[in-house]
Chain A
Amino acid sequence: AQTVTQSQPEMSVQEAETVTLSCTYDTSESNYYLFWYKQPPSRQMILVIRQEAYKQQNATENRFSVNFQKAAKSFSLKISDSQLGDTAMYFCAFRGGSEKLVFGKGTKLTVNP
């Protein structure tokens, strides 16, 4: 079974600085998707960024980018120019061929003014 590990339960960053959230996963599959979801205090799950495993280029969405290392099974999220609105829980997730999305336990990110 696939597993997703987020080793940082909590992190904090100063506004306008850069922070990186870590995620590792375990799978024997070669084709899969990886995601980062954001959950603000409103509880809504919001997709931040996605990466297809067959693509070598790292995904980027505005201030959010990933460092995808397929051989190392690592998928970190970098947030540049952090904003107060980035304060949230961040979940890394994996989806292989089984149609199921497996989530990590999350990292609570606090952006300080």
Chain B
Amino acid sequence: NAGVTQTPKFRILKIGQSMTLQCAQDMNHNYMYWYRQDPGMGLKLIYYSVGAGITDKGEVPNGYNVSRSTTEDFPLRLELAAPSQTSVYFCASNRNTGELFFGEGSRLTVL
């Protein structure tokens, strides 16, 4: 089973550029999440979704957008990239049993 798949794994952006981090899960999970992890820190929730067509903000949503058109996919859009968005991004999913299944992370550097 693929589980949660994130692409790309690494990306370097220039200030002001835009990009989309892709996330797909094949476990038919309703809930999907995007977290960012800054160096030496824990994970902070950016956005989450409880089902197709439904998204909500987490702790640090500014500078990001999401959509959830299907159960499987939950892309994260960065508009006008800034150095403060340099981080490792994790996508995760679960049913309502609590445990999150994580992707392998995407390392983004904004120069």
* Total of A-B residue pairs, C-beta within 8 Å: 46
What interface size band does chain A fall in? 10 to 19
A71 to B73 alpha-carbon distance, docked (Å): 39
Among A56-64, A80-88, A103-111, the stretch in contact with B = A103-111
**Contact partner, B42, options A43, A44, A91, Cβ 8 Å:** A91
From B35, B48, B99, give the contact of A99 (CB < 8 A). Answer: B48
Whether B88 and A101, one on each chain, are in contact in the complex, defined by CB atoms closer than 8 angstroms, is: no
Q: A43-B88, A43-B105, A100-B58 are in contact. Are A105 and B99 (CB under 8 A)?
A: no
| Partner among A35, A43, A52, A100 whose Cβ is within 8 Å of the Cβ of B45 | A100
Contact of A95 with B98 in the complex, beta carbons under 8 Å: yes
Nearest A residue to B31, CB-CB? A99
Which residue on B lies nearest to A91, using beta carbons?
Answer: B42
Chain A at the B interface: mostly helix, strand, loop or mixed? strand
Which one of A52, A91, A101, A105 has the highest number of Cβ atoms from chain B below 10 Å of its Cβ? A101
Q: Which of A33, A52, A103 neighbours the largest number of chain B CB atoms within 10 Å of its CB?
A: A103
Q: A106–B48 contact, CB under 8 A?
A: no
Chain A hits for B105, CB < 8 A? 43-44
Residue of B nearest to A44 (CB): B104
A95 to B92, alpha carbons, bound, how many Å? Answer: 14
Q: Is A16 an interface residue (CB 8 A)?
A: no
CA distance A35 to B33 in the complex (A): 16
* 7 pairs, CB–CB < 8 Å, chain A vs chain B: A35-B98, A35-B100, A44-B102, A45-B100, A99-B96, A101-B98, A103-B35
B-to-A contact residues, CB < 8 Å? 31, 33, 35, 41-45, 48, 50, 58, 88, 90, 92, 96, 98-100, 102, 104-105
